[in-house]
């Protein structure tokens, strides 16, 4: 045994302030602590509250893990108290302020680095400046990417080749060069900053430059799911990469951990939806969620409600309440009527604002999901062996859809066509109720879906094996931690 096995690693994790980035990074941080590292997660007060239960419980079980709380400049920015996460934004103005507030955290974070003198910084991709901080401390910086290697490759090849330049129309499809599969895409499906240069393009170029200067990439995925793309990613970017997922299934084992993950609200003893799910046959319920950031227009909500009702299938739908002054009156009335009708017919359930997603996906009655194709939701569904109806909205979600439908063949596309953050602002790209009905019928009842379900179950089994001792993700994490210890030794 080398001496490095006796060293304790001090690792700082710096998550971005949105659930899709924070959930997987906190899960990963907890895994590092469970395997012997001394872990610090830097975050702000309100965000710390959403993870405190898990961190306290790990700490009380003897693991070396804590949060380091820094101050979010809410009052300076004129933000309401407690709005410190992108998911809590209700207007574009608020969104801009939060982005600004996150940038203002840099000096506080850098002084924590100086104080704690870590052996490694695991940084979310959206803090590109941590490359310099790590260089100053002469320690490795890991670039944490909370999505798939497939999507990473798509981003890089579109940036490099700009295959959509010169197309006659925005809806014309073009093949993405460089991938292992033949994937075609229309410009309207591309991430907005790739379709057309904007401020985000400038930021992303800085992010990509920081990626190439990192010691390596850490991502929440697994080899059996997309090993070919992991290799392609490493060869394309030219840095090391470790896939250690699915981290949510690896670390959140008990119902309590699943229910509390990323959420400070306690579950009531027997919530209505749980009793309702318990009363349903296995694989008979569709879970409908658009993640933590999507905002739907009223017109789209009406189409979803009718689509679900007309499909005749059981469903649980997570609906975000809109902020005051958001024209919420009409929408709220409509949804309350709908909720009452669904309760009466025993066909559906609405969960308001936030659902304990891991718990619902793992419930035997859940048989499929309608997803916006956020990578975490995809991996969590794959871990539960579930096939999906894919309804991408923005960012890399359309790339994820192609991976699910065309490469893994465990998804049915609802037919969304326009990549747009916060489609609440406009009415373009609305998917009609008939399209949803068609997709639900295909997923929950067709011959085609039987094969899809089998493939999804197989991937679910692979997901379970990869995080067991001796599995690929398990080994990747152990190798990474050993390598970091060797680096620490050589510095000493
Ligand atoms: N999530 C949840 N309950 C909700 C909505 C989201 O637990 O009601 C969690 C979900 O399990 C996932 C994360 O929030 O871990 C959302 O990440 P994802 O990548 O799926 O989408 P995003 O919200 O970033 O668009």
Helical residues (DSSP H) of 261-326, grouped into ranges: 272-278, 298-311
Substitution site in 292, 359, 397, 400 for ligand 1 pocket (most atoms within 8 Å of beta carbon): 292
Substitution site in 369, 374, 422 for ligand 1 pocket (most atoms within 8 Å of beta carbon): 374
Ligand 1 atom 15: residue of nearest CA: 376
Which amino acids bring their CB within 6 angstroms of ligand 1? Answer: 19-20, 23, 262, 289, 291-293, 318, 354-355, 357, 374-377, 380
Pairing of strands 184-185, 174-175: antiparallel
Q: pLDDT tens-digit profile of 241-287?
A: 999 999 999 999 999 899 889 876 666 667 899 999 999 999 999 99
Distance CA(373)–CA(308), nearest Å, equals: 18
Give yes or no for a contact between 397 and 376, defined as CB atoms under 8 angstroms apart: no
Which ligand 1 atom sits nearest the alpha carbon of residue 355? 8
From the list 106, 135, 112, the residue with the least C-alpha distance to 214 is 135
Q: What pLDDT is recorded for position 445?
A: 85
Q: What pLDDT is recorded for position 448?
A: 84
Distance CA(455)–CA(461), nearest Å, equals: 10
Ligand 1 atom 3: residue of nearest CA: 355
From the list 429, 424, 419, 375, the residue with the least C-alpha distance to 164 is 419
Q: What is the DSSP string of 462-473?
A: HHHHHTSTTSHH
Q: How far is the CA of 67 from the centre of ligand 1 (A)?
A: 21
Distance CA(199)–CA(207), nearest Å, equals: 13
Q: pLDDT tens-digit profile of 143-157?
A: 999 999 999 999 999
Q: State whether CATH 3.40.50.300 applies to domain 265-464.
A: no
Q: Is 21 an annotated catalytic residue?
A: yes
Q: How many residues does the chain have?
A: 492
Distance CA(106)–CA(127), nearest Å, equals: 9
Q: Which of 27, 58, 124, 362 is catalytic?
A: 124
Q: What pLDDT is recorded for position 4?
A: 54
Which ligand 1 atom sits nearest the alpha carbon of residue 351? 8
Q: What pLDDT is recorded for position 371?
A: 98
Give yes or no for a contact between 144 and 180, defined as CB atoms under 8 angstroms apart: no
Q: Sort 202 into a burial class: Cβ within 10 Å, 0-12 / 13-18 / 19+.
A: exposed
Helical residues (DSSP H) of 162-246, grouped into ranges: 192-195, 199-212, 223-237
Place of tokens 């320690």: 139
What residue ranges of the chain are covered by domains with CATH 3.40.50.2000? 10-174+196-250+466-491, 265-464
Distance CA(100)–CA(74), nearest Å, equals: 10
Which ligand 1 atom sits nearest the alpha carbon of residue 395? 25
Q: How far is the CA of 112 from the centre of ligand 1 (A)?
A: 28
Tokens of residue 333, six digits: 């009335």
Q: pLDDT tens-digit profile of 287-345?
A: 999 999 998 999 999 999 999 999 999 999 999 987 655 556 899 999 999 999 999 99
Distance CA(48)–CA(27), nearest Å, equals: 14
Residues of the chain with pLDDT below 50 are: 1-2, 425
The ipTM (two decimal places) reads 1.00
Q: What pLDDT is recorded for position 93?
A: 92
**Residue 350 in 3-state DSSP?**
strand
Q: How far is the CA of 483 from the centre of ligand 1 (A)?
A: 31
Give me the residues paired with residue 242 across strands. Answer: 218
Give yes or no for a contact between 187 and 164, defined as CB atoms under 8 angstroms apart: yes
Q: Which CATH architecture has domain 10-174+196-250+466-491?
A: 3-Layer(aba) Sandwich (3.40)
Distance CA(212)–CA(207), nearest Å, equals: 9
Ligand 1 atom 11: residue of nearest CA: 357
Strand ranges, E, within 102-208: 120-124, 141-145, 174-175, 184-185
Pairing of strands 216-219, 240-243: parallel
């Amino acid at each position: 045994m080398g001496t490095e096995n006796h060293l304790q690693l001090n690792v700082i994790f710096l998550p971005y302030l949105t659930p899709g980035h924070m959930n997987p990074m906190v899960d990963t941080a907890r895994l590092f602590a469970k395997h012997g590292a001394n872990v610090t997660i830097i975050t702000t007060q309100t965000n710390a509250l959403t993870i405190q239960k898990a961190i306290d419980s790990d700490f009380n079980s003897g693991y070396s893990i804590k949060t380091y709380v820094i101050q979010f400049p809410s009052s300076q920015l004129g933000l309401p108290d407690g709005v410190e996460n992108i998911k809590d934004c209700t207007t574009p103005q608020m969104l801009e302020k939060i982005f600004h507030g996150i940038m203002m955290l840099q000096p506080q974070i850098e002084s924590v680095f100086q104080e704690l003198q870590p052996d490694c910084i695991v940084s979310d991709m959206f803090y590109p400046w941590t490359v310099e901080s790590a260089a100053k401390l002469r320690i490795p910086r890991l670039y944490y990417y909370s999505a798939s290697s497939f999507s990473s490759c798509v981003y890089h090849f579109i940036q490099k080749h700009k295959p959509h330049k010169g197309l006659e129309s925005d809806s014309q499809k073009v093949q993405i060069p460089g991938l292992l599969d033949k994937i075609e895409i229309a410009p309207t499906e591309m991430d907005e900053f790739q379709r057309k240069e904007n401020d985000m393009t400038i930021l992303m170029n800085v992010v990509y430059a920081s990626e190439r200067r990192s010691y390596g990439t850490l991502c929440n995925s697994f080899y059996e799911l997309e090993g070919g793309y992991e290799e392609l990613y490493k060869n394309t970017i030219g840095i090391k990469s470790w896939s250690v997922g699915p981290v949510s299934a690896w670390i959140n084992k008990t119902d309590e951990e699943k229910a509390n993950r990323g959420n400070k609200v306690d579950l009531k003893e027997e919530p209505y939806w749980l009793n309702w799910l318990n009363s349903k046959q296995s694989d008979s319920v569709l879970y409908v969620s658009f993640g933590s950031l999507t905002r739907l227009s009223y017109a789209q909500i009406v189409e979803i409600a009718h689509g679900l009702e007309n499909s005749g299938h059981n469903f649980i739908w997570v609906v975000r309440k809109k902020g005051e002054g958001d024209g919420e009156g009409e929408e709220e009335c409509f949804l309350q009527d709908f909720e009452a009708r669904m309760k009466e017919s025993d066909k559906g359930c609405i969960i308001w604002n936030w659902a304990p997603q891991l718990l619902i996906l793992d419930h035997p009655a859940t048989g499929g999901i309608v997803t916006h194709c956020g990578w975490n939701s995809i991996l969590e569904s794959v871990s539960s062996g579930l096939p999906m109806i894919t309804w991408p909205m923005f960012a890399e979600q359309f790339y994820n859809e192609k991976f699910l439908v065309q490469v893994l063949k465990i998804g049915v596309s609802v037919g969304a066509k326009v990549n747009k953050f916060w489609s609440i602002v406009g009415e373009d790209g609305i998917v009609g109720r008939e399209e949803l009905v068609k997709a639900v019928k295909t997923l929950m009842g067709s011959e085609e879906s039987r094969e899809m379900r089998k493939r999804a179950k197989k991937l679910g089994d692979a997901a379970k094996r990869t995080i067991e001792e001796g599995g690929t993700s398990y080994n990747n994490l152990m190798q990474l931690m050993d390598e970091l210890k060797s680096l620490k030794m050589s510095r000493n």
